[in-house]
């Protein structure tokens, strides 16, 4: 692409994989700032820099002038305009249908399937007062021995495990599980080691912690680390804790293995330390969402994210990459510019479930339904016949009332609305209601629900007067949605008129039971 620099034509390379603009020193009129920091190229060669220079360049076709910041290099090379500047000057227009190709070509090393590494080495701390445990070899089925030998050899070559010859205080058993593709997964039996590992107790985020960051976004990408746990390198002492016995000898993990009770917290912390401060990037476990208010902002955020992945040797799973979408699946929910809705896969799984045949199955169904409770108004009332079956000393009897409630729950899940995403700038409304056996609340903004919540009344609470139940519904809603309601004005709506006059009185004059 030919552009004018000081009125003279200069041939520039438009590089969608470049995070900076590059200019040979002969074209630079002056340096804004000097620098000796080298640049890294795609081929891993190092380019020495002289500094930074801002130049006025002209597009000869449109006659428009642009002020562009360049990194100046003291060598003969073709000037380069990177992705961000090229898009601002409309020299490069990346549409949704070809951005995947551009991203893959510019950052092919991120998707090469090799082993990645998060910064630093991880130390695992154990309770030193507990004696180490050495477990005997667990016999592997004959049909899986050949696969195990192949898998062990493969992960040794990849630097995930290494053979052990010297004595180690801890020796674990190996757990071999089949994969859907016919291969096997090698895991530790962490039974005794987990009892002595000291956890970091790192606060794990929940969905509501990150949703508000996405409230104005319209374009999304979801990235997943390739073998996320194996991105974490163990130090020598910690690696020896993971020694395991096989019929082919002893090995130890050089990377964080599956199954340890500390693994999830470690990977969460390390990913958030690396990507947590980046604009347009939110992290949860080893899933990462890159988002933007429009296509351009999304693409710029994605480019910065991929640049950091390249810089720190982070590897992404190309098969799980959901790139530049108007909606994505995330932790069992669908996130879009319209809000958050149920994942059709989860809905289908519940709808296709047969009626339970024992109390254990009822409890499992209730757990699955509770995961989607935020989408279902008055869920407690609908579930009451099933909830009663979980009471102590109640025999399992599946009658018409239970079947009717079960089918009503399925239909409520099918009909569940799309929930809005919380916006701190908008008015917040809390609607509440109480029935004979339960209380319920819904949080709203602009008349759209953010979440529903309900619970069953305890036997003593069922004896409350109606005004007490209605006030209980209000306090339940405020506590349930404390994350959103605390520290800001909330408009509370109830259909029980007497509450209005009572709540206007000084607290000392209200009936004691309402306090």
pTM comes to 0.72
Mean pLDDT of the chain: 86
What's the token pair of residue 26? 């002969």
Non-local CB neighbours of 96 within 8 Å, separated by 6+ positions: 295, 324
**pLDDT at position 33 over 90:** no
Q: What is the tens place of the pLDDT at every residue in 70-120? A: 888 887 888 899 888 888 888 776 554 455 554 555 567 888 888 999 999
What's the token pair of residue 339? 């809000």
> Is the Cα torsion angle 421, 423, 426, 427 positive or negative in sign?
positive
Alpha-carbon separation of residue 293 from 290, 297, 301, 479, 493 (angstroms):
11, 6, 11, 32, 32
pLDDT at position 43: 46
Rg (CA), the chain: 30
Q: What is the mean pLDDT of residues 146-171?
A: 92
Q: Specify the 3-state DSSP secondary structure of 38.
A: coil
| Cα–Cα distance measured from residue 30 to residue 55, given in angstroms and rounded to the nearest whole number | 9
Burial class (CB in 10 A: 0-12, 13-18, 19+), 34: exposed
> Is the Cα torsion angle 159, 161, 166, 169 positive or negative in sign?
positive
Phi-psi region of 63 (alpha: psi -120 to 50; beta: other; left: phi over 0): left
* Band of residue 357 on the pLDDT scale cut at 50, 70, 90: very high
| Cα–Cα distance measured from residue 319 to residue 271, given in angstroms and rounded to the nearest whole number | 20
Range of weakest confidence among 31-40, 307-316, 444-453, 465-474: 31-40
| Cα–Cα distance measured from residue 324 to residue 245, given in angstroms and rounded to the nearest whole number | 45
Non-local CB neighbours of 328 within 8 Å, separated by 6+ positions: 220, 221, 222, 289, 322, 334, 335, 336
More confident position, 312 or 509:
312
Cβ count within 10 A of residue 325: 15
Residue 426, φ and ψ in degrees, nearest 5: -100, 155
What's the token pair of residue 391? 């009471």
DSSP state of 91: S
Domains and CATH numbers, the chain: 2-88 (2.40.70.10), 121-202+236-253 (3.10.10.10), 207-231+261-339 (3.30.70.270), 344-414 (3.30.70.270), 429-514 (3.10.20.370)
Q: Could you tell me which of 117, 126, 259, 119 has the C-alpha nearest to residue 185?
A: 259
Q: What is the tens place of the pLDDT at every residue in 128-137? A: 899 999 988 8
| Cα–Cα distance measured from residue 328 to residue 343, given in angstroms and rounded to the nearest whole number | 10
pLDDT at position 100: 55
| Cα–Cα distance measured from residue 441 to residue 491, given in angstroms and rounded to the nearest whole number | 13
Give the helix ranges, DSSP H, for 114-162: 142-157
Range of weakest confidence among 94-103, 311-320, 440-449: 94-103
Which residues in 60-190 belong to E strands, given as ranges?
64-73, 80-81, 121-122, 161-164, 174-178, 184-188
| Cα–Cα distance measured from residue 439 to residue 443, given in angstroms and rounded to the nearest whole number | 14
């Amino acid at each position: 692409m030919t552009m004018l620099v000081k009125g003279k034509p200069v041939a520039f390379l438009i590089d969608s994989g470049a995070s900076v603009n590059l200019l040979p020193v002969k074209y630079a009129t002056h340096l804004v700032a000097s620098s000796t920091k080298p640049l890294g190229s795609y081929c891993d060669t190092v380019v020495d820099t002289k500094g930074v220079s801002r130049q006025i360049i002209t597009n000869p076709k449109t006659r428009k002038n642009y002020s562009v910041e360049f990194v100046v290099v003291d060598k003969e090379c073709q000037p380069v305009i990177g992705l961000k500047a090229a898009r601002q000057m409309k020299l490069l227009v990346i549409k949704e249908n070809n951005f995947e190709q551009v991203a893959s070509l510019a950052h092919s090393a991120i998707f090469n399937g090799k082993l990645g590494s998060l910064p630093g080495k991880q130390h695992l701390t154990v309770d030193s007062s507990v004696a180490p445990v050495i477990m005997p070899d667990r016999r592997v089925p004959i049909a899986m021995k050949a696969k195990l030998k192949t898998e062990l050899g493969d992960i040794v070559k990849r630097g995930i495990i290494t053979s052990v010859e010297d004595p180690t205080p801890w020796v674990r058993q190996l757990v071999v599980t089949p994969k859907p593709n016919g291969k096997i997964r090698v895991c530790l039996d962490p039974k005794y080691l987990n009892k002595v590992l000291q956890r970091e107790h790192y606060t794990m985020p929940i969905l509501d912690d990150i949703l508000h960051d996405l409230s104005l976004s319209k374009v999304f990408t979801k990235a997943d680390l390739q073998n996320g746990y194996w991105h974490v390198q163990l130090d020598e002492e910690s690696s020896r804790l993971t020694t395991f016995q096989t019929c082919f000898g002893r090995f130890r993990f050089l990377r964080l293995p599956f199954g340890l009770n500390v693994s999830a917290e470690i990977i969460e912390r390390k990913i958030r330390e690396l990507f947590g401060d980046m604009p347009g990037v939110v992290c949860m476990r080893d899933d990462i969402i890159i988002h933007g208010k429009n296509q351009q902002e999304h693409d710029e955020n994605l480019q910065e994210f991929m640049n950091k992945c390249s810089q720190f040797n982070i590897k992404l799973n190309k098969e799980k990459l959901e790139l530049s979408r108007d909606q994505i699946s995330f932790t069992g929910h669908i996130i879009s510019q319209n809000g958050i809705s149920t994942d059709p896969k989860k809905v289908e799984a519940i709808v296709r479930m047969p009626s339970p045949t024992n109390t254990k199955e009822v409890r499992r169904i209730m757990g699955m339904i509770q995961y989607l409770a935020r989408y279902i108004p008055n869920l407690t009332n609908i579930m009451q016949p099933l909830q009663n079956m979980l009471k102590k000393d109640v025999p399992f009897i599946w009658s018409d009332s239970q079947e009717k409630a079960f089918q009503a729950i399925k239909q409520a899940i099918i009909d569940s609305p799309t929930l809005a995403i919380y916006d701190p700038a908008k008015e917040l409304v809390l609607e509440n209601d109480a029935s004979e056996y339960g209380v319920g609340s819904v949080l709203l903004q602009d008349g759209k629900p953010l979440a529903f919540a309900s619970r069953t009344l305890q036997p003593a609470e069922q004896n409350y007067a109606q005004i007490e139940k209605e006030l209980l519904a209000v306090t339940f809603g405020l506590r349930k949605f404390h994350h959103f309601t605390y520290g800001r004005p909330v408009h509370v709506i109830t259909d029980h008129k007497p509450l209005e006059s009572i709540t206007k009185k000084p607290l000392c004059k209200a009936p004691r039971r309402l306090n």
